[in-house]
């Protein structure tokens, strides 16, 4: 963690010590995981070959055990969070929704670091609420885009201040690189297809 500001390090430590609950009814078979393996025959697979092999070793199951069911609890016991997030994205029928809610929970956990320095600025909190509301279907894409714009305005207002960086960077770090990549991919896709984040 060398080179990080003290606030970023504090936010990261807070999330690692007590990460938000990841709630999903994840029950996938080994066959479903293997089917998402990226190979020459399946270039669109969402999971790398080495990652699948490593996960199966840690879960102590063979690739040929295609009907073996992996639960979220078991996956969380033996896999790194970023690997669990990748499996959710690849195999869970509602994976994007689960990941977006988890990312909102991570951001909300470290939001007090921003609010400690900017107690009268509720734009980041409103953006998190809007993101969660959009996932739940009560906030439109336009309302979400406006909330995100306001949150980025808050980031600009706090430019150079570590409080903003701490809140967002720690949320990304806690969610793991996989979730960060998924959220960036989702944002890029939604901007390209609908003109704004969903």
Q: Between β-strands 69-71 and 27-29, what pairing exists: parallel, antiparallel or unpaired?
A: antiparallel
Mark whether 75 and 136 lie in a shared domain: no
**What's the domain count of the chain?**
2
pLDDT computed for residue 169 by the predictor: 55
Residues 150 and 108 in one domain: yes
Supply the pLDDT for residue 11. Answer: 67
Name 110's Cβ contacts closer than 8 Å, sequence gap at least 6.
11, 14, 15, 166, 167, 170, 171, 174
Judgement on whether residues 101 and 141 belong to the same structural domain of the protein: yes
Which residues does the chain have with pLDDT short of 70?
Answer: 1-12, 14-20, 22-25, 156-198
**Residue whose entry in the numeric block shows the structure tokens 């499996």:** 87
| Residue 161 resides in a domain | yes
Q: Which of 72, 77, 62, 60 is nearest to 31 (CA)?
A: 62
DSSP summary character for residue 151: H
d(CA 45, CA 163): 38
pLDDT score at 4: 47
Q: Is residue 186 part of a domain?
A: yes
Domain coverage including residue 40: 27-91
If DSSP codes are grouped into helix, strand and coil, which group holds residue 140? coil
Q: Classify residue 29 by its DSSP letter.
A: E
User: What's the CA gap between 120 and 195, in Å, rounded?
Assistant: 30
Judgement on whether residues 135 and 165 belong to the same structural domain of the protein = yes
DSSP H helical ranges for the chain = 6-17, 30-35, 49-59, 72-78, 81-91, 95-117, 123-135, 141-157, 162-194
Q: How many of the other CB atoms lie within 10 Å of CB of 23?
A: 11
DSSP symbol at 92: -
Q: What is residue 40's predicted lDDT score, i.e. its pLDDT?
A: 87
Q: Based on the domain organization, do 144 and 166 belong to the same domain?
A: yes
Write out the two tokens for 117: 């320095």
**What's the pLDDT score for residue 62?**
92
Residue 105 and residue 155 share a domain: yes
Residues 33 and 130 in one domain: no
- Closest Cα partner for 87 from 134, 31, 26, 129? 26
User: Which residue, 27, 28, 40, 33, is CA-closest to 54?
Assistant: 33
87 & 103 share domain: no
75 and 43 in one domain? yes
């Amino acid at each position: 963690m060398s080179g990080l500001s003290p606030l970023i390090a504090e936010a990261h430590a807070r999330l690692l010590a007590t990460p938000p609950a990841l709630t999903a009814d994840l029950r996938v078979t080994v066959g479903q995981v293997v089917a998402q393996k990226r190979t020459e025959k399946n270039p669109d697979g969402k999971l790398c070959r080495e990652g699948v092999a490593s996960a199966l070793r840690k879960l102590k199951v063979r690739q040929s055990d295609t009907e073996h069911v992996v639960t979220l609890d078991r996956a969380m016991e033996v896999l790194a969070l970023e690997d669990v997030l990748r499996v959710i994205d690849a195999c869970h029928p509602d994976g994007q929704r689960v990941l977006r809610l988890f990312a909102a929970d991570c951001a909300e956990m470290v939001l007090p670091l921003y609010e400690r320095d900017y107690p009268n600025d509720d734009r980041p909190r409103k953006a998190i609420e809007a993101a969660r509301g959009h996932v739940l279907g009560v906030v439109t894409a336009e309302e979400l885009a406006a909330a995100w714009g306001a949150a980025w305005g808050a980031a600009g207002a706090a430019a150079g201040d570590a409080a903003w960086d701490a809140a967002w960077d720690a949320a990304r770090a806690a969610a793991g690189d996989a979730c960060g990549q998924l959220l960036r991919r989702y944002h890029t896709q939604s901007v390209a297809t609908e003109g704004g984040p969903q």
